[in-house]
Amino acid sequence: MTSDVMIIKTSISKTPSSPFSPLPSVSATFSNGVTKKLFSFNPDETQFDTDNEFIGLTEQEAGNLMFEKNISFLNP
């Protein structure tokens, strides 16, 4: 069942130096060996403390974390 697959490793791409570069993204490796891009984010609006914020989460929980960070940005 895919909901039981946990994130075991993540990487957050660097913030681009040019405004025309792609947004940074979060990629994750799951306990089943699959690696995939989870989402892109605007670094002016959303910050992640470390790559480890996602370790142990499912893909849905990681998406929920991103959602919560977006909501907290909109509601200071």
Model confidence pLDDT, tens digit, residues 42-72: 888 888 877 789 999 999 999 999 999 888 8
Chain centroid offset of residue 14 CA: 13
Closest CA to 42 of 75, 70, 72: 70
pLDDT of 29: 97
Q: Once rounded to an integer, what is the mean pLDDT over residues 8-34? A: 91
CA distance 46 to 51: 14
Q: Which residue type occupies 28?
A: A
pLDDT of residue 3 exceeding 80: no
Q: Provide DSSP, 3-55.
A: GG--EEEEEEPPPPSSTTSPPPEEEEEETTS-EEEEEE--TTT---S-GGGGT
pLDDT of 76: 67
